[in-house]
Amino acid sequence: MIRHAKAGILFRHGLRRVSFLICLGIGGALFSATLIRFAPGYGVQERELDPRWSAKSVEALRQEQVLHEGLASFYFHYLSALAHGDLGESESLKRPVRELLAQRFPLTGSAIVRGLGVAWLAATLLASLGLASRGWFYEASGTAVSSLLLSLPSAVIAMLAVHLRAPTFCAISVVVFPRLHRYMRSLLLRSYDQPHVLAARARGLGGVSIFWRHVLPLATPPLFALLGVSFAIAFGAAIPIEALCDSPGLGQLAWQAALSRDLPLIVNVTLIVCLVMLAANALADLAGRAFAGDTQ
Amino acid sequence: MNPAQKAAAVTLCVIFALMVLATILVPAPYARQFRDIPNAGPSRAHPLGTDALGRDSLSRLLYGTRVSLLLAPAAALLSTLIAAVLGSAAGFLGGSFERIVLAATDISLALPWLFLLLTVRAMLPLDIPPMASVIIAFLMMGLLGWQASVRVICAAARGVRDSDFLLLARSSGCKPIRLLVCHVAPNLRPLFYAQFWISIPLFILTEANLSILGLGVMEPMPSWGNLLRGFEDFSAVAANPWMLVPLILLVIVVMCFQLVLPSPEVIQ
């Protein structure tokens, strides 16, 4: 009965999250449309700047543009196109944004998943080792390495990766690792210092058993939240890393779009990334809640 | 302050002093080109050598330090001010205003920071004077970098809202604005300081990333990000190790800011 009630609460929470995502998607799309519509240079064709075209022809060209459309009509066309999966056309690459996203997203997704996998593995291992040893040397060296990596711009890490011919995911993991390690270490230490863990230790329970039975269950829900956040960190790091490592992913696409002021492309890429991030955060939140519900 | 924090504070003071005295210390203006000695090694006239265009590297480093170290705190101040106003008001007023502010914060936090900056930067013209690029880069960071601080400040303001002294002030007939300005904000001041300090290294690193990508401070204006662009050719760095100085300085400053940061106990 209680299990059913908990499942019901989780389902309602999930439903709320999904409806929030849908509302946000619509709001984000409208906002994106506004940015594109009111950006300087909207509706201006390169041909208009060509002095060989007469004033009359330029005026005729302008008439062809959607610029003269009313705002409501513009929004309607934008949203209806979006509903049909049409995200517009990239001004710089002269290709549909949807096609570009379909081509680039898997590459970035794969690099991010692999990078996060390596970073999580390394951070978990080192934080657990630190918990086991709790010596000053480990603490000092761990803090020094984390601080050093945190002080390096991700673009410098990307340039190092280029120099060392390391794959993109390695650079992503180096950017994400110190943030994960720092948070995970303090979280595990806090869980380890709880009174019930102290009592278990006093009763002579083994270190591994304490870790799996008492420390990890306590730390897992915040770790799920950290998983959601780490996706955002990895996506952010993907821009300089892909741009400098010449990896044709979403980050490089966003950078190229920003450099060429390709607004339909950058705005739609950002909208999609935002929705993916929110979905990842919602999933992480639900997983954390489900786990916390099971352990309580 | 522990010894490490003291050392970090002293280091920061020395670097700030060098930055302030840049005009006196530099051997040449940062944009002046010694065309006969490009890529020169360290010498008495040019202690850190010259770059590919023959510009004095020490001058560019000191002026770049000035740009990064003056404007990152300015951007941090702006973002902390926005976060302080929004966070305190949301936490103090509660209700739908708090929900709206927190929802907006969650959405902004979900979006990777660099994606947001790139989108906003793409809205603005790229062909701008160097000084305008400096102002745009740091203004953008200041105006868009408040989200994480708002969450923290809002949570703390919520705690103050339910405190006894605020109930007493409210029962004495204090107006909400006065309560917010005279009672809530002073209690959150340590948190504002902490958020300000936390934001500075973040903005320094963001400026470096943006400038390396060609979307931050424009040439010939130097900044740490611009100076780090030379790292794209690592073989040149290996041959001229003094090219590492800007990176070393950046790492030292960011680490010092991380060390100087007050501990959570102090903030409480």
Q: What is the pLDDT of residues B19-72, one digit of tens each?
A: 888 888 888 888 888 888 888 888 888 888 898 888 999 999 999 999 989 889
Instruction: Please check whether residue B148 is in contact with residue B102, taking contact to mean a CB–CB distance below 8 angstroms.
Output: no
- Cβ distance A235 to B121 less than 8 Å, yes or no, reads no
pLDDT computed for residue A82 by the predictor: 77
pLDDT average, residue stretch B235-263 = 86
* Whether residue B268 has pLDDT greater than 50: no
Of B109, B122, B208, the CB nearest to A261: B122
Q: Which residue of A34, A229, A270, A285 to mutate against B (max B Cβ within 10 Å)?
A: A270
The residues near B222 (Cβ < 8 Å, ≥ 6 apart) are: B30, B60, B61, B63, B64, B67
Quick one: closest CA in B to A266, which residue? B119
pLDDT computed for residue B113 by the predictor: 82
Which DSSP letter does residue B46 get?
S
pLDDT digits (tens, 9 = 90+) for A50-89: 777 777 777 776 666 655 456 677 777 777 887 787 888 8
The residues near B90 (Cβ < 8 Å, ≥ 6 apart) are: B97, B98, B101, B102, B150, B154, B157
pLDDT digits (tens, 9 = 90+) for B135-163: 888 899 999 888 888 988 998 998 888 88
pLDDT computed for residue A259 by the predictor: 86
Helix axes B113-123, B185-212, angle to 10 degrees: 70
Q: How far is CA A125 from CA A143, A180, A206, A284, in A?
A: 15, 11, 18, 21
Q: Taking the alpha carbons of A246, A250, A251, A256 in that order, is the dihedral positive or negative?
A: positive
Quick one: closest CA in A to B259, which residue? A147
pLDDT digits (tens, 9 = 90+) for B74-125: 999 999 999 999 999 999 988 888 888 888 887 777 778 888 888 888 878 7
DSSP-assigned states of every residue in chain A? -HHHHHHHHHHHHHHHHHHHHHHHHHHHHHHHHHHHHHSTTTT--GGGG-TTS-HHHHHHHHHHSGGGS-HHHHHHHHHHHHHTT---B-TTT-SBHHHHHHHHHHHHHHHHHHHHHHHHHHHHHHHHHHHHH--HHHHHHHHHHHHHHHTS-HHHHHHHHHHHT--HHHHHHHHHHHHHHHHHHHHHHHHHTSHHHHHHHHTT--HHHHIIIIIHHHHHHHHHHHHHHHHHHHHHHHHHHHHHHT--SHHHHHHHHHHTT-HHHHHHHHHHHHHHHHHHHHHHHHHHHHHHHHH-
Beta bridge partners of A189: none
One digit per residue, the tens of pLDDT, for chain A of length 296 reads 666 777 777 777 777 777 777 777 677 667 766 766 676 666 666 666 677 777 777 777 666 665 545 667 777 777 788 778 788 888 888 889 889 999 999 999 999 999 999 999 999 998 888 877 777 788 788 888 888 999 999 999 999 999 899 999 999 999 999 999 988 988 888 888 888 888 888 888 887 888 888 888 888 888 888 888 898 899 989 999 999 999 999 999 999 988 888 878 888 888 888 888 888 888 888 887 787 765 55
* Of the candidates A296, A237, A257, A291, the residue with the CA atom closest to the CA atom of residue A35: A257
Query: Residue A115's Cα: distance from chain center in Å?
Result: 13
pLDDT computed for residue A178 by the predictor: 93
| Chain B positions in Cβ-Cβ contact with residue A267 (cut-off 8 Å) | 119
Q: How far is A219 from chain B (nearest CA, A)?
A: 20
Angle at A64 between CA A62 and CA A67, to 5 degrees: 60
